[in-house]
């Protein structure tokens, strides 16, 4: 009888079906990424701009009503037959459940329009400049001033608050390491510094 180390063996719940599902999803995601790049390249080559995906009724749009409708129709063509049928059916003929599904399908059209706009903008000079500025702003976020940093003696006096202080300082470092933060890093650093002062206050 073999002596199998159960701690190192792959659990039996990792079945061939589980492996196949994980591999299949990964392949799909990788293929989608390549298709997205190819699609955006095609749009750019044709002269399509990110602002073409903004509603003609909104300021800053470069789309005509006809172009906007054409984009949406092209998106709908990629939907399943069931979704297309829901979108084409008169609203009054649908059940409450179908109406809810129809609304989701309509919302997904908007989501795709927004995704095309985002991906195109990321390749345009304005979008590249914005991303660069945001990245530099994150790197420029400064550490709390020495006056805000508690001294080793103060930390020692904090007793049980030492671990909390370490967590706050670690949070500050992690925030500063983010290349493209989606929040105000400087403001967060200042708030974390104030939190440290609360803990170390005698």
Tell me the pLDDT tens digit for each residue of 136-189.
777 766 555 555 555 555 545 545 566 776 777 778 777 766 665 666 767 777
pTM, 2 dp: 0.58
Q: What is the mean pLDDT of residues 118-140?
A: 84
DSSP class per residue in 96-158 = HHHHHHHHHHHHHHHHHHHHHHHHHHTTSHHHHHHHHHHHHHHHHPPPPPTTTSPPHHHHHHT
Which pLDDT score, from 0 to 100, does residue 129 have?
87
DSSP class per residue in 24-59 = HHHHHHHHHHHHHHHHHHHHHHTT--GGGGS-TTST
pLDDT tens digits, residue range 10-58?
889 999 999 999 999 999 989 988 888 899 999 999 999 999 999 999 9
d(CA 127, CA 150): 40
Burial class (CB in 10 A: 0-12, 13-18, 19+), 189: buried
- Residue 71 predicted with pLDDT over 60: yes
Per-residue pLDDT band at 132 (split at 50, 70, 90): confident
Q: Which residue, chain included where needed, has tokens 């000079």?
A: 125
| Cα–Cα separations (whole angstroms), residue 130 to 5, 33, 150 | 53, 23, 36
Q: What is the mean pLDDT of residues 85-98?
A: 91
Which pLDDT score, from 0 to 100, does residue 45 have?
94
Which pLDDT score, from 0 to 100, does residue 152 have?
58
Among 88, 39, 48, smallest CA distance to 67 is for: 48
């Amino acid at each position: 009888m073999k002596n199998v180390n159960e701690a190192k063996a792959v659990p039996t719940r990792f079945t061939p079906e589980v492996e196949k599902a994980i591999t299949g999803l990964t392949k799909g995601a990788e293929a989608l990424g390549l298709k997205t790049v190819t699609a955006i390249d095609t749009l750019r080559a044709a002269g399509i701009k990110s602002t073409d995906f903004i509603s003609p009724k909104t300021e800053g749009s470069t789309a005509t009503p006809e172009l906007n409708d054409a984009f949406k129709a092209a998106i709908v063509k990629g939907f399943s037959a069931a979704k297309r049928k829901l979108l084409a059916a008169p609203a009054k003929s649908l059940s409450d459940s179908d109406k809810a599904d129809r609304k989701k399908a309509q919302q997904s059209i908007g989501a795709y329009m927004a995704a095309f706009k985002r991906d195109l903008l990321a390749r345009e000079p304005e979008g590249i400049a914005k991303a660069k500025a945001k990245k530099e702003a994150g790197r420029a976020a400064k550490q709390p001033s020495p006056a805000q940093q508690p001294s080793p003696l103060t930390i020692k006096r904090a007793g049980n608050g030492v671990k909390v202080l370490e967590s706050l300082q670690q949070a500050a470092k992690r925030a500063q390491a983010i290349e493209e933060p989606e929040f105000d890093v400087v403001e967060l650093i200042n708030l974390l510094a104030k939190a440290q002062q609360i803990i170390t206050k005698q």
